[in-house]
Structure 1
Amino acid sequence: MRFAVAAAGSSPTEYVSHHLEHLKVGEGLWTFHLDTLFFSVVLGLLMVFVFWLAARRATSGVPGKLQNFVEVLVEFVDNSVRDSFHGPRQFVAPLALTIFVWVFLWNIMDLIPVDYIPLFAYHVLGLEYMRVVPSADINAPFAMSLTVLALIIIYSIKGKGLGGFGKEMLFHPFGRNPALWIPNILLNVVELIAKPVSLALRLFGNLYAAELIFILIAMLPWWIQFLPGGAWAVFHILVIPLQAFIFMTLTIVYLSLAYEEH
């Protein structure tokens, strides 16, 4: 099917299916969603550039608007880390800031009208498919949550030592009876895996649903779209930072639980 945005010959099913299809290469496990990778990298570079620019323009005198904004954001994240994580914060605070800003930028792409970038990609670049919301692609939230899983294991070993981490896997929550070691390990593994899975699915589910609703609204007649579209956009403005905050906060809490001895 060739690209058609609300065209007369495009059925509603084709229209929705087209907007939910990724620009990809490869097959099976080695399928790469190029649009998700592209927008994730671009938004990450944008985040780095904004913070670099703020650092370059930082002054001990009267701060500018950009410096004020970045300082408020850094202080907000640092306070969140200080309240939840009681170990060394040299790495956790920058990590939390990166997660919050990057996920926020992912989510805010959902406010771009659903046809604008796909139309540009098709007519200018000759690309048939283009999705612009990385967090609405299950691969992006899962990739970030797998990184969090690796950090949970690292901080468990860092806080308790390798022996302490092994003892916790063997003896928690049912005690030291050798007959309960296998149930303890199974429960701990399930708990460990559940954390990144819940992180990824929560972010993906909210943004995928929001993207789908925007697509359905775009199928309405042009003269009525602004009413439901505007209302949903206003509501979604609250969802965008909330989901970024939840992902950041749960990451901090999971690392705090991993670092502390039980």
Structure 2
Amino acid sequence: MASGETLNITQYIVHHLTNLKVGSGFWTWHLDTLIVSGALGLLVFGSMAVLASRATSGVPRGWQNFFEMVLSFVNQQVKDTYHGNHPLIAPLAITIFVWVFVMNAMDLIPVDFLPETAKAVAVNTVGADPHHVFLKVVATTDPNLTFAMSITVFLITIYMNFAVKGVGGFMHEIFTVPFGAKLAPVNLLFRVVEEVARPISLSLRLFGNMYAGEMVFILIALLGIWQLPLALPWALFHILIITLQAFVFMMLTIVYMSMASESH
């Protein structure tokens, strides 16, 4: 494709849905996903750490008040859902909710703003072909990230099973629930299916909803100057979607941790 050639509708959509990649095959790295998610994590949690170091007693104000409201909300969900007392659960839930929310919120930035900025920088600094400069700013539209998060939750769940129930208790649960020891192979099969289904459903739910929302924004952007009547209502509705998806991911994580901490 010539560098000066204008993208048609199909090429425009594909360009926006293509990650900035390096490597090949299994070892392909999506640099934009890593950079955006890492930068947002450092920005948000760094800001929270600074606010925590400067927090004052009495009536909170400004950002301190906002973050205290978020922390209180998440902490209450943990208290209502998780019936153990493990110190890992509340920090994990807060991290998931805040991080997923800010990554989802990147969907509210106009779809061409950051990609076009990156394109201009790449063209003017290193003379890159503008049609080969890719940037997906919504990290949660990348299944690699959502699967990485869900697999991490899965591994922590396995750890919680061993930590709370012990090796003997966990093995007893795997081979005897729900049909008793006489049907141990069937119980094991059911447990494997259950454990594998959790990270798959957790990751695909977040990815699917955010990918669909991003696609709608891209299609609206194709309308040019006529996009405003549709973009604004969809953006306002999408605020609910990005918040709900962060909440669902967090709540399912708490539920999985609660199930890992309780004996059947």
TM-score, with length taken from structure 2: 0.93
Match of 1:33 in 2: 30
User: For each residue in 1:196-245, what CA deviation from the matched residue of structure 2 results, as whole angstroms up to 9, or x when unmatched?
Assistant: 111100100000000011001111131x1001111110110111111000
- Superposed counterparts of 1:38-117, under 5 Å: 38-117=35-114
* Corresponding residue of 1:246: 248
Residue 19 of structure 2 is aligned to residue 17 of structure 1:
no
3-state secondary structure, aligned to 1:125 = helix
Kindly report which structure 2 residues correspond to 1:153-192, keeping only aligned pairs within 5 A, or say none: 153-177=158-182, 180-192=183-195
Deviations 1:68-117 (A, max 9, x none): 11111111111100011111241110110000000001100001111111
Report the equivalent of 1:218: 221
Cα gap change, 1:101/1:207 in structure 2, threshold over 3 Å: closer, same or farther? same
* CA spacing shift, 1:74–1:57, aligned 2, 3 Å: same
Equivalents in 2 of 1:213, 1:2: separation in Å?
28
- Deviation (angstroms), 1:3: 7.2
- Report what 2:231 is aligned to: 229
Opposite residue 192 of structure 2, the aligned amino acid is V
Task: Give the TM-score taking structure 1 as reference length.
Answer: 0.94
Question: Aligned partner of 2:220: which letter?
Answer: I
**1:66 counterpart letter in structure 2:** W
Paired with 2:52 and 2:2, the residues of 1 have a C-alpha distance of: 46
> Which of 179, 197, 200 lines up with 2:200 in the alignment?
197
Structure 2 residue aligned with 1:121: 118
Q: Is the 8 A contact 1:78 1:93 kept in 2?
A: yes
Partner letter of residue 156 of structure 1?
N
1:85 counterpart letter in structure 2: Y
- 1:52 Cα deviation from its structure 2 partner: 1.2
Matched ranges for 1:133-172 at <5 A? 133-172=138-177
**CA separation in 2, counterparts of 1:141 and 1:172?**
30
SS in 2 for 1:124: helix
RMSD of equivalent CA atoms = 1.4
- Describe the SS at the equivalent of 1:173: coil
Contact persistence 1:40–1:134 (CA under 8 A): yes
Structure 2 distance, partners of 1:219, 1:191, is 42
- Aligned partners of 1:208 and 1:89: how far apart in 2? 34
Name the aligned partner's letter for residue 138 of structure 1.
P
- Which residue of 128, 132, 136 corresponds with 1:131? 136
Rounded to whole Å, the distance in 2 between the matches of 1:18 and 1:3 is 14
Q: CA deviation at 1:49?
A: 1.5
Cα pair distance change 1:82/1:3, threshold 3 Å: farther
Alpha carbons 1:3, 1:18 under 8 Å: kept = no
Aligned-pair CA distance for 1:173: 1.4
Amino acid at match of 1:100: F
- Using the alignment, how far apart are the partners of 1:243 and 1:156 within structure 2? 26
